[in-house]
């Protein structure tokens, strides 16, 4: 939804962060891979498997240095959409978000507001897709 607004370097970093994110619960859901393909399309980068050879800490440090506060908010919101895209946001995924939020200076209150907005967005998106596919 907002990924096209990331800088080119942050698009790659976001994709690599997503690679770690989809492994947060040790289960790669087909919906998560579908969402990653949508992300690549939106960012106008090749649909590719994320590179998880770089540690999560190193990715977060690089994003922290290179991203604006607005980009950090986009990244957190889009990660939340990735997690919720399969219909759940389980404890492992919530635990994954903690160091991301801490590194990016996102408060728990902002996280909770983003979670509500993500739910609303997904519901609206699914309703629109249902309407268009009739």
Query: Domain range holding 17?
Result: 3-132
The enclosing domain of 119 has a CATH number of: 1.10.3680.10
Structural domains counted in the chain: 1
Q: Report which of residues 28 and 110 the model is more confident about.
A: 110
pLDDT in tens, 112-129: 999 999 999 999 988 999
HEC profile of the chain: CCHHHCCHHHHHHHHHHHHHHHCCCCCCCHHHHHHHHHHHHHHCCCCCCCCCCCCHHHHHHHHHHHCCHHHHHHHHHHHHHHHHCCCCCCHHHHHHHHHHHHHHCCCHHHHHHHHHHHHHHHHHHHHHHHHHCC
pLDDT in tens, 54-73: 999 999 999 999 999 999 99
Q: What is the pTM of this model?
A: 0.90
pLDDT in tens, 25-38: 887 888 888 989 99
């Amino acid at each position: 939804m907002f990924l096209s607004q990331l800088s080119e370097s942050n698009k790659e970093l976001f994709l690599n962060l997503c690679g770690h994110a989809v492994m947060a619960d040790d289960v790669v859901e087909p919906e998560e891979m579908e969402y990653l393909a949508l992300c690549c399309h939106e960012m106008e980068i090749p649909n590719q498997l994320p590179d998880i050879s770089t540690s999560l800490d190193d990715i977060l440090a690089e994003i922290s240095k290179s991203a604006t506060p607005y980009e950090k908010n986009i990244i957190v919101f889009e990660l939340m959409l990735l997690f919720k895209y399969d219909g759940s946001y389980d404890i492992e995924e919530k635990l994954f978000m903690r160091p991301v939020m801490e590194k990016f200076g996102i408060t728990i209150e902002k996280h909770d507001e983003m979670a509500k907005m993500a739910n609303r967005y997904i519901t609206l998106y699914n309703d629109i897709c249902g309407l268009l596919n009739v």
